[in-house]
Chain A
Amino acid sequence: MEAFLQHLLNGLLLGGTYALLGIGLTLIFGLMNVVNFAHGEFYTLGAYLTFAAASLLRVNFVLAIAVAILGGSLLGALCERVLLRPLRGESIDTTMLVMIGLWIATQNGELLAWGGVAKSIPHPFPTAPIVIGPVSVAPLRLFVLAAVLVLIAGSHVLIHRTRLGVAMRATFQDRETAALMGIDVGGIHTLTFAFGSGLAAAAGALLGPIFLVYPSMGDLAALKAFSVVILGGLGNFAGATLGGVILGIAEELGAGYVSSGYRDAVGFVIIILVLLVRPSGLFARAGRVG
């Protein structure tokens, strides 16, 4: 029982991190229909920027995270303008492949710039765990969970309650009509990609201190992000959150009670099963097509 509660808590915390990875991608993949294999690289970038700010420039931890988010957004905007805008109207495979190119180039660029040795980001939280009855948890993890909830709620409000959000959704549902209504369609594309990239950088900034920072850290993150987005339904923040938590708990229990070697298989099997039963994700609204 003691172990089960700890597994459950672990799964919840892990799920929070997965949700964080998923919400940025659900915009880019879900709304913009870009199979963004470079998403993990914005995550890596966020982690390295936080490392540079917190460890090399010695700025405040929270400020360092803000720097990372800003840097991720700006670079996202740049990528959209330079790489995706010229290819608008080309097939989804072409843009996917450009993002694969970006993924390979940036990952090796990071290796060149930072070297292969993993970095650890200093943070102000105590390392001693908080013990509650049979379970224990690191303070940093609780902070990250709280930050994840704030980011998800904020993004949800931005997309569903603001004029900008309305313009975003309108643009990706019906481009021509949106343009006729006077929406700056090109600007919305750039902004959405920047926002999604900023969220990926935020994930890197928040998870970097928990784990380690190294050039290939984004690969696993991107894979998990895709899983979460599909489980939750494309473009759905609440779905991505729940999808992340389900994935986290399933992996944790699978590794705890079935076999740790098959840990990642649990997530894959869940995706296959969910899509067999509900072909458009667990929480998709009707009528949304990939």
Chain B
Amino acid sequence: MRRWVLTWIAPTSLALVIVSAGVAQQDPIKIGVIAPLSGPVAASGNYVRMGAEIARDWINARGGVHGRRVALLVEDNKSDPKEAAGAAEKLIARDQVPVLMGAWGSSMTLAAMPKLEEYGVPMVVETSSAASITKRGNPWVFRISPPSEMEALGLEKYLGALGIRQADFMAVNTDWGRGAVTAFGDMLRRHNAGIGAVEFMDQAATDMNAQLTKIRGAGGDTLFLTTSVEQITLVLKQAQELRVARRIITTGGSSSPSQLVKQAGAAAEDSYHIVFFMPWFPEAMPDPNLAKAFVDEWTRRGNPFEGLTEGFRGHDGIATIAEAIRIASRAEPQAIREALWKVSLMGLNGPIKFEKDGPAGRESGQSRPSIFLVQIKGGKAALPAFLRK
């Protein structure tokens, strides 16, 4: 008998007591944030968190939203989709947050999305670029980052200046990488550019020589590269070792040119990068004053400069949510969702305003972010020659 109590009931009930402990506070408006704070993409997730914290402090310094302070409840998704779904469940059901921002990677966002529908809580998606996120008919999703298709369209206007005749692709083997290959491939085909080698790499891979040797033999003039900044660093270094002479264009906005300059050195020279925020020349951003203030605040806090191209997402996401709560004038999920459709805001990236996307009647919100192209020249990020006046 004792044995039964000991082996079964005691540990179970003890564990349940631990979980049930702790009481949530009521006073400030709670915003849930899901980001990869540990695991392979921890650096990016932490930058987003830092940007979100700046937005929160700015809002609170201005007196909060309708006189109530804003509090961020940040949960780590450990760069793992299962954890992302668990974090969403925890934030919504346990902490009762009325709105979420997250979850960086597309697979993590996709895994968290069923929870939004289940509980009826809106989420602003700040980074993920898989097309499917807004095409699934989940009316609780509002994305401020561009899907790969939009990014490809953003590059379209520079095609003439770049003069791409045949492109090769190298991408991380996830929905993000595969989506980018499809989107940019379609755009290039419309302009009669050839598609050469299409190579994938595992998320954790460090040696990409095999793929690069193949690309070297494919004979294109441009290599489109879609992956995390860590793997971009490795690919650039290994491409230099293998003498893969190509124009390299990275997509996805997570390439952090400043970090590439630091870590890939000369191998990063001349490469092009699609970014959504240009901290090197805030005066060229749609709202120069806001951009300047953000860059200053970021540096004042001692956050690494190379994180700015990622960190701005956190700011824009939280600013969007705060604006929606202001319009809704109450912090309730349904009201915030309706208010998100009315948001019209100048973010760091540019104007944020949601349009309907996905199957009729169940549309998700998709903003039209600005897309910028920079080039690394002389160890610095610069506007490409054809954009300089």
**Chain A residues in the interface with B (C-beta under 8 A):** 2-3, 6-7, 10, 13-14, 17, 108, 111, 115-120, 127, 129, 131, 136-138, 141, 211-212, 214-217, 219-220, 251-256, 260-261, 263-264
> Known interface pairs A129-B242, A211-B234. Does A120 touch B262 (Cβ–Cβ under 8 Å)?
yes
Closest 4 CB pairs of A and B: A116-B42, A255-B210, A116-B43, A10-B209
B204 CB–A CB distance under 8 Å = yes
Q: For B42, list chain A residues within 8 Å (CB).
A: 111, 115-116, 215
Excluding A3-B217, A252-B209, 4 further A-B contacts by CB distance (< 8 Å) are A214-B40, A215-B42, A260-B199, A260-B200
Chain A, Cβ-Cβ closest to B231: A212
Chain B, Cβ-Cβ closest to A2: B217
B96 CB–A CB distance under 8 Å = no
Residue total for B at the interface (Cβ-Cβ under 8 A)? 45
Contacting residue for B243 out of A13, A136, A251, CB 8 A? A136
| Whole-angstrom distance between the Cβ of A47 and the nearest chain B Cβ | 12
B334 CB–A CB distance under 8 Å = no
| Whole-angstrom distance between the Cβ of B198 and the nearest chain A Cβ | 9
Interface class of chain B by DSSP: helix
Q: Which of B46, B210, B213 has the most CB of A within 10 A?
A: B210
Contacting residue for A263 out of B37, B40, B41, B205, CB 8 A? B205
| Whole-angstrom distance between the Cβ of A208 and the nearest chain B Cβ | 11
**Chain B residues in the interface with A (C-beta under 8 A):** 37-46, 173, 199-202, 204-207, 209-211, 213-214, 216-217, 229-230, 233-234, 237, 240-243, 259, 262-267, 304, 306-307
In the assembled complex, the Cα of A7 lies from the Cα of B170 at a distance in Å of 17
Q: For A212, list chain B residues within 8 Å (CB).
A: 206, 230, 233-234, 263
Chain B, Cβ-Cβ closest to A262: B200
Q: For B234, list chain A residues within 8 Å (CB).
A: 211-212
Can you list 10 contacts pairing A with B, beta carbon distance less than 8 Å?
A7-B213, A13-B209, A111-B42, A117-B304, A127-B267, A129-B240, A217-B206, A255-B214, A260-B210, A263-B210
| Whole-angstrom distance between the Cβ of A250 and the nearest chain B Cβ | 11
In the assembled complex, the Cα of A167 lies from the Cα of B210 at a distance in Å of 43
Contact call B211/A260, Cβ cutoff below 8 A:
yes
Contact call B241/A129, Cβ cutoff below 8 A:
yes
In the assembled complex, the Cα of A137 lies from the Cα of B238 at a distance in Å of 10
Contacting residue for B242 out of A120, A136, A219, A252, CB 8 A? A136
In the assembled complex, the Cα of A2 lies from the Cα of B304 at a distance in Å of 43
Q: For B259, list chain A residues within 8 Å (CB).
A: 117
> Known interface pairs A116-B43, A116-B46, A216-B39. Does A136 touch B210 (Cβ–Cβ under 8 Å)?
no
| Whole-angstrom distance between the Cβ of B186 and the nearest chain A Cβ | 20
> Known interface pairs A214-B230, A220-B205, A260-B201. Does A115 touch B46 (Cβ–Cβ under 8 Å)?
yes
Contacting residue for B204 out of A115, A219, A260, CB 8 A? A219
Q: For A214, list chain B residues within 8 Å (CB).
A: 40, 43, 230
> Known interface pairs A116-B42, A261-B173. Does A220 touch B206 (Cβ–Cβ under 8 Å)?
yes
Q: Which of B173, B204, B307 has the most CB of A within 10 A?
A: B204
| Whole-angstrom distance between the Cβ of A87 and the nearest chain B Cβ | 22
In the assembled complex, the Cα of A10 lies from the Cα of B206 at a distance in Å of 13
> Known interface pairs A115-B43, A115-B46. Does A120 touch B204 (Cβ–Cβ under 8 Å)?
no
In the assembled complex, the Cα of A286 lies from the Cα of B173 at a distance in Å of 42
Q: For B44, list chain A residues within 8 Å (CB).
A: 116
In the assembled complex, the Cα of A10 lies from the Cα of B208 at a distance in Å of 10
> Known interface pairs A14-B207, A14-B209, A263-B205. Does A117 touch B43 (Cβ–Cβ under 8 Å)?
yes
In the assembled complex, the Cα of A131 lies from the Cα of B267 at a distance in Å of 17
| Whole-angstrom distance between the Cβ of B6 and the nearest chain A Cβ | 21
In the assembled complex, the Cα of A146 lies from the Cα of B229 at a distance in Å of 30
Contact call A6/B233, Cβ cutoff below 8 A:
no
Contacting residue for A129 out of B213, B216, B243, CB 8 A? B243
Chain B, Cβ-Cβ closest to A121: B263
Contact call B263/A120, Cβ cutoff below 8 A:
yes
Chain A, Cβ-Cβ closest to B243: A136
Q: For A138, list chain B residues within 8 Å (CB).
A: 241
Q: For B241, list chain A residues within 8 Å (CB).
A: 127, 129, 136-138, 141
| Whole-angstrom distance between the Cβ of B129 and the nearest chain A Cβ | 20
In the assembled complex, the Cα of A219 lies from the Cα of B80 at a distance in Å of 15
Contact call A10/B240, Cβ cutoff below 8 A:
no
Q: For A111, list chain B residues within 8 Å (CB).
A: 38, 42
| Whole-angstrom distance between the Cβ of A137 and the nearest chain B Cβ | 7
Contact call A116/B38, Cβ cutoff below 8 A:
yes
